[in-house]
């Protein structure tokens, strides 16, 4: 996708609108209900949930929260109308769009390359990415860990057909890793931090130099169409939550620990290595990076058709989906 000056102007106008809406009172078109999907990795959303922020900002809206183990499950719920808004990593939206799911990108957080990793047992003879050839590797299919593994194999010159993918949700993947049923495990925080704390694996690689590991907020088309003013408010409150986390890391870790049951040390490790992550409308370069993710999965035959990410990116300035012209 080519970045143009007009695209940048549209994005800047969108962000200005978001700031104005967050700073001012809510408009009349508040959603009747707002069902939010989240994961344990969605720390900004967890802060909003635990502090009751959105219930205060949307006093006439029935706000509810639904937890998911990973992004693919969350986006399936979004596509069938069970939730209205949620956060995933880079890969789940690619799989969802390729499957014809009806959803819209509305916001993004910056890359977090140190928050995901490929782990091997401490005593493993796997010493480099090249050693993954022929190995059994666990990960959640269609998750950001899937993309991390694709990038790692590409860097090592290993064909996808030369490894055995073992598709498991995070809890099942950890169990398989601990009993030695798989040789490696691609995973993200806080599952990554929890494994470091309890299992003491060796980190073969993180996402640094491999994957941007962007995170995206997606919404239902109904919210975008009928309550467009609500979306910038959500993005602004998420940025406010992130600013609070950056200034109160121990308090944020305790809040996460209290909710999830994770040990405080695990929660703090997760929070401490997470960079500042304000939420903004998608920038042209972020759309382009996401398009590269989609193209790589299509090239490997992991999604059934080529997709154009920009087709489902919301443009808040004009309350419509972005179209690259």
pLDDT in tens, 105-155: 999 999 999 999 999 999 999 999 999 999 999 999 999 999 999 999 999
| 220 and 306, same domain (yes or no) | yes
To 10 degrees, what angle do helices 191-198 and 170-178 make?
A: 20
Domain final residue pick, 206, 241, 261 = 206
| pTM exceeding 0.75 | yes
294 Cα distance to chain centroid: 15
Number of domains composing the chain: 2
| 44 and 87, same domain (yes or no) | yes
Using only C-alpha atoms, what is the Rg of the chain?
19
pLDDT in tens, 195-243: 999 999 999 999 998 877 899 999 999 999 999 899 999 999 999 999 9
- Identify the CATH number of the domain in which residue 256 sits: 3.40.190.10
| 234 and 307, same domain (yes or no) | yes
Domain final residue pick, 206, 232, 255 = 206
Q: What is the DSSP string of 1-23?
A: ----HHHHHHHHHHHHHHHHHHH
Q: How far from 272 is each of 114, 193, 266, CA to CA, in Å?
A: 11, 11, 10
| 105 and 22, same domain (yes or no) | yes
Contacts 24+ apart (CB under 8 A), 69-74: 69/39, 69/140, 69/169, 69/170, 69/171, 70/39, 70/140, 70/143, 70/169, 70/170, 71/39, 71/140, 71/142, 71/143, 71/144, 72/96, 72/140, 72/141, 72/142, 72/143, 73/169, 74/37, 74/38, 74/39
| 92 and 232, same domain (yes or no) | yes
| 100 and 139, same domain (yes or no) | no
| 165 and 201, same domain (yes or no) | yes
Range of the domain at 23: 5-110+214-321
Q: How far apart are the C-alpha atoms of 322 and 283, rounded to whole Å? A: 11
pLDDT in tens, 37-82: 999 999 999 999 999 999 999 999 999 999 999 999 999 999 999 9
| 106 and 247, same domain (yes or no) | yes
């Amino acid at each position: 996708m080519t970045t143009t000056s007009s695209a940048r102007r549209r994005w800047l106008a969108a962000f200005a609108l978001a700031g104005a809406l967050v700073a001012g009172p809510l408009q009349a078109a508040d959603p009747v209900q707002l069902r939010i999907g989240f994961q344990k990795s969605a720390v900004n959303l967890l802060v909003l949930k635990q502090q009751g922020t959105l219930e205060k900002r949307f006093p006439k809206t029935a706000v509810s929260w639904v937890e998911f183990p990973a992004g693919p499950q969350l986006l399936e719920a979004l596509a069938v109308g069970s939730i209205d808004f949620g956060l995933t990593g880079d890969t789940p939206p690619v799989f969802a769009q390729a499957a014809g799911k009806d959803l819209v990108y509305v916001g993004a957080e910056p890359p977090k390359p140190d928050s995901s990793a490929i782990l091997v047992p401490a005593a493993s003879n796997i010493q480099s990415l090249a050693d993954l050839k022929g190995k059994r590797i666990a990960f959640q299919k269609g998750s950001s860990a899937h993309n991390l593994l694709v990038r790692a194999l590409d860097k090592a010159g290993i064909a996808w057909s030369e490894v055995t993918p073992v598709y498991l949700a995070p809890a099942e993947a950890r169990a398989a890793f601990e009993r030695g049923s798989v040789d490696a495990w691609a995973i993200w925080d806080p599952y990554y931090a929890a494994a470091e704390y309890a299992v003491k694996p060796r980190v073969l690689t993180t996402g640094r130099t491999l994957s941007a590991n962007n995170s995206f907020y997606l919404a239902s088309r109904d919210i975008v169409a009928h309550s467009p003013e609500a979306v910038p408010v959500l993005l602004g409150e998420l940025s406010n939550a992130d600013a609070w986390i950056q200034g109160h890391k121990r308090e944020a870790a305790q809040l996460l620990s209290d909710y999830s049951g994770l040990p405080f040390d695990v929660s703090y490790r997760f929070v401490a290595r997470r960079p500042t992550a304000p939420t903004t409308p998608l920038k042209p370069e972020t759309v382009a990076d996401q398009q590269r993710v989609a193209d790589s999965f299509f090239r490997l035959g992991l999604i059934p058709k080529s997709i154009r990410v920009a087709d489902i990116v919301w443009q808040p300035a004009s309350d419509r989906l972005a179209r690259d012209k």
